[in-house]
């Protein structure tokens, strides 16, 4: 059941309500800039990722306070495996730490946690912890948090195409019946509404293989702020920018 959405106000601007459609149901974020944040302070990259994990907590708090239904965070891309072994180990360690210390709290807040991506690549131990977190929170009725881990949009579409081709080969599906809904149902995000807005921090203007199918009609918001600096005000800024956008889904202006 959708949560009641708060009317958000920052400064003099009013963000809106769920009734007038000016508040997004689903915000997806490309958390970028941890490395630059650390470098600008003369710190190792891992310090940027640690600060980034703290920003995740602030973002979750703001999203829940605003009654957001779905929050997706791009925590590890399929391309991130190309980083040095030390950095990959640091990111895996942070993820494990986060799961151990935050899942119980999120469960207490009725947050449902889901993971999308090739999570088996993290190895059986971490995979088990991810599965435990999903099972524990499966019936929660508050916000849904999707963590994209070892996620790549193109490979997600490829696996959906393969699954559909196999089903057609077995005679379980008529190729002519494959439409956009059928493809959506074969993606890792099946059952989750497409994001209304996709945000990228750090001043970069790219999707970087994030939710390529699901982003078809998403509003794109680019913030100059580095991810570790993200806070409640940043979240409110996203809602304000979104509220000012005129979403037409290809239709003519009214």
Provide the annotated active-site residues: 32, 80
- Beta strand pairing call for 144-151 and 112-116: parallel
Query: Residue 49 or residue 64: which is nearer to ligand FPP going by CB?
Result: 49
Query: Residue 68 or residue 94: which is nearer to ligand FPP going by CB?
Result: 94
What is the smallest separation between the CB atom of 227 and ligand FPP, expressed in angstroms?
6
Q: Which residue is nearest to ligand FPP (CB)?
A: 35
Query: Residue 15 or residue 38: which is nearer to ligand FPP going by CB?
Result: 38
CA 236 – CA 242 distance, rounded (Å)? 10
What is the smallest separation between the CB atom of 121 and ligand FPP, expressed in angstroms?
15
What is the smallest separation between the CB atom of 248 and ligand FPP, expressed in angstroms?
32
Is 40 annotated among the ligand-binding residues? no
**Which residue is it, tokens 């009641």?**
4
Is 34 annotated among the ligand-binding residues? yes
65: alpha, beta or left, given left = phi > 0 and alpha = psi -120 to 50? Answer: alpha
The sign of the torsion formed by the CA atoms of 39, 41, 45, 51 equals negative
CA 250 to chain centre: 24
Query: Residue 148 or residue 164: which is nearer to ligand FPP going by CB?
Result: 148
User: Helix, strand, coil: what percent of the chain each, to 5?
Assistant: 45, 15, 40
What is the smallest separation between the CB atom of 211 and ligand FPP, expressed in angstroms?
16
Binding site for ligand FPP (CB under 6 A): 31-36, 49, 52-53, 56, 75, 80, 94-95, 98, 147, 202, 227
Q: Which residues of 143-177 are buried (b: 16+ CB within 10 A; e: fewer)?
A: bbbbbbbbbbbeebeeebeeebeebeeeeebeeee
Is 77 annotated among the ligand-binding residues? yes
Query: Residue 15 or residue 75: which is nearer to ligand FPP going by CB?
Result: 75
Is 58 annotated among the ligand-binding residues? no
Is 81 annotated among the ligand-binding residues? yes
Is 128 annotated among the ligand-binding residues? no
193 three-state secondary structure: coil
What is the smallest separation between the CB atom of 130 and ligand FPP, expressed in angstroms?
11
Nearest alpha-carbon partner for 121 in 155, 73, 161: 155
**Which residue is it, tokens 């899942």?**
103
Binding site: which residues?
A: 32-37, 45, 49, 77-79, 81, 83, 200, 206-208, 219
Binding site for Mg(2+): which residues?
A: 32, 219
Binding site for substrate: which residues?
A: 33-37, 45, 49, 77-79, 81, 83, 200, 206-208
């Amino acid at each position: 059941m959708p949560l009641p959405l708060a009317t958000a106000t920052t400064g003099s601007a009013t963000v809106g309500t769920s009734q007038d459609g000016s508040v997004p149901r689903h915000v997806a974020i490309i958390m970028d800039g941890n490395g630059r944040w650390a470098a600008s302070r003369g710190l190792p990259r891992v310090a940027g990722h640690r600060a980034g994990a703290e920003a995740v907590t602030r973002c979750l708090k703001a999203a829940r306070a605003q009654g957001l239904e779905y929050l997706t965070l791009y925590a590890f891309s399929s391309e991130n495996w190309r980083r040095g072994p030390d950095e990959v180990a640091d990111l895996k360690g942070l993820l494990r730490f986060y799961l151990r210390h935050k899942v119980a709290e999120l469960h207490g807040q009725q947050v449902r946690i889901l993971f999308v991506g090739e999570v088996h690549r993290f190895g059986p131990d971490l995979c088990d912890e991810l599965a435990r977190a999903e099972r524990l929170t499966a019936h929660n009725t508050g916000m849904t948090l999707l963590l994209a881990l070892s996620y790549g949009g193109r490979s997600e579409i490829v696996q959906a195409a393969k699954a559909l081709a196999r089903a057609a080969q077995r005679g379980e599906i008529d190729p002519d019946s494959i439409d956009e809904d059928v493809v959506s149902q074969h993606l890792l995000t099946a059952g989750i509404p497409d994001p209304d807005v996709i945000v990228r921090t750090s001043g970069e203007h790219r999707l970087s293989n994030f939710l390529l199918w699901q982003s078809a009609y998403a509003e794109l918001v680019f913030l100059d702020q580095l991810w570790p600096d993200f806070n409640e005000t940043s979240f409110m800024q996203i809602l304000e920018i979104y509220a000012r956008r005129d979403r037409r889904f290809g239709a003519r202006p009214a």
